[in-house]
Amino acid sequence: MLRTPPPPAENLILSFPSLHILVVTINRPQAMNCVDTQTHNEMSRVWPWYDDEPSLRCAVVTGNPQGKRKAFCAGQDLKEWNDAQSGGADPIVAHPQGGFGGLSRRSGKKPVIAAVDGLALGGGMEMLANMDMVVASASSMLGLPEVKRGVAAFAGVLPRLTMSVGLQRASELALTGRMLSASEARGWGLVNRVVGDGEALVVAVAVAKEIAGNSPDSVIVSRAGVRSAWEGRSVEEATRDVREGVGMGLQTGENIREGLRAFVEKREPKWADSKL
């Protein structure tokens, strides 16, 4: 059971398809799930709540596919942006803490998986570049079309892409604005799994269940260890910081004792909700 209720949201659908799993659906299909100011704020409130809710162990984010054209997220709501600028407002879009949708620069504690069925453009791509895993349907397309609209991707994707795929490939996406197919994105290492159309959410939830079946302490610490590379520290520094930081909670917690005991007793472990 949830310890605290989820934050209220009008442009998101929050669902719990299985014990320990949260699914966040961007629910603006009429606008190809573009994110406006309200949706940014709603999403930015969900992720701290998710991290702090002990019963939740893995999250999936997806887009409502019911619009005229399927989309995970087609980016920033450019109509809202244009209206604001035409009215004399500051042309700089202020993203919430954590970046686009609270995700593109999120560090956080627990994993988030993307289930992409359709377009992931601009801010949608910004979010994907910082996801722990990405599952995409075969017909999905990913890209950064900002240069075709006179804007630029400011929410963290450009340096992340360079770290992930290298200077030349990142430059190709950012400077030409062309889109990648799901299979090409998988070849570049930006997508974990390519599945049939309409299957991305089902497969992503299955992956989330697999993660949630592991020790929640171990998942949190392992994720922190993987992500330590994003901060530009040396291997020794990153390993030490994780081991002496959140890793201490794992080593003194109840789940490590349960996991080792279950191995010796040749049974499945019964994990407690993480206290990390």
Which one of 126, 231, 237, 244 is the catalytic residue? 126
- How distant, in Å, are the alpha carbons of 64, 69, 74, 112, 197 from that of 30? 9, 9, 11, 25, 20
Left, alpha or beta for 96 (phi > 0: left; psi -120 to 50: alpha)?
Answer: beta
Which one of 146, 172, 231, 258 is the catalytic residue? 146
CA 122 to chain CA centroid, nearest Å:
15
DSSP code per residue over 203-227: HHHHHHHHHHTS-HHHHHHHHHHHH
| C-alpha dihedral, 68 to 70 to 75 to 81, nearest 10° | 10
172 catalytically annotated: no
Whats the size of the chain, residue-wise? 276
146 catalytically annotated: yes
Q: Which residues are catalytic?
A: 126, 146
